[in-house]
Amino acid sequence: MALTPASSAGATSSGVTVLYDTTLSATAATIDTGAAGIAASCRHLLVIAALRSTKAATTDTAVFTFNADTSGVYYKELVRGFGASVGAVEAALAAANIPLEAVPGGTATAGLFTPLTLFIPNYASSTVKKAINGQEGYTFDLASTHVETSSFIGYYNATTAISRMTLTPGTGPWAAGSSLTVLGLGAA
């Protein structure tokens, strides 16, 4: 499905294309676009996810990969805010995936999901290594003071076009209601 906004002042737009969209109706071990699930038909990617694990705890870990590649080509540096505290962390260096900070687990307050947003320019290029600008946050109990956010820059150290994305919980599986939307921006 392509969405094309009206142009203004003579500008043209190639619009926004939904490349992948799912919301789990039952638990699942991963959320995976599948091989060739992300078409190389656009210039940039905008990824939006809402994630919750069923782990019998208030939080769980989670990771994501591209193209089923776990060969140590991921990098992540983040700035985290929690209450009045701020810190920076090198979260991945030549790693097999990009870790998320945390997602609510099965005993977290019902209805809480971690929001994740990624912007990936030039995802379909076969000459550019992929930069990832991300934002994530989580809480497991709105009655407490535990609300955390982080902004990060990541790299997928490969020139291969991104054609697949897989989100995997640490213990999981993903809870029903978890979702992944991948939007393509601009013309390829």
* pLDDT > 60? residue 11: no
CA distance linking residue 132 with residue 100, whole number of Å: 13
Cβ-based burial of 144 (10 A; exposed 0-12, middle 13-18, buried ≥19)? exposed
Q: Which domains, ranges and CATH numbers included, belong to the chain?
A: 16-187 (2.60.120)
Please state, for a pLDDT cut of 90, what percent of the chain lies above it.
Answer: 78
Give residue-wise pLDDT tens across range 60-111: 999 999 999 999 999 999 999 987 889 998 888 999 999 998 999 999 999 9
Q: Which residue has the tokens 């060739």?
A: 36
CA–CA distance, 165 with 175 (Å, rounded to integer): 18
Which pLDDT score is estimated for 140? 83
Q: How far apart are CA 179 and CA 139, in angstroms?
A: 17
Q: Model pTM?
A: 0.90
**pLDDT tens, 127-158?**
999 999 999 998 888 877 778 899 999 999 99
3: its two tokens: 């969405």
User: What's the pLDDT at 6?
Assistant: 43
Q: Which neighbouring-strand residues pair with 51?
A: 114
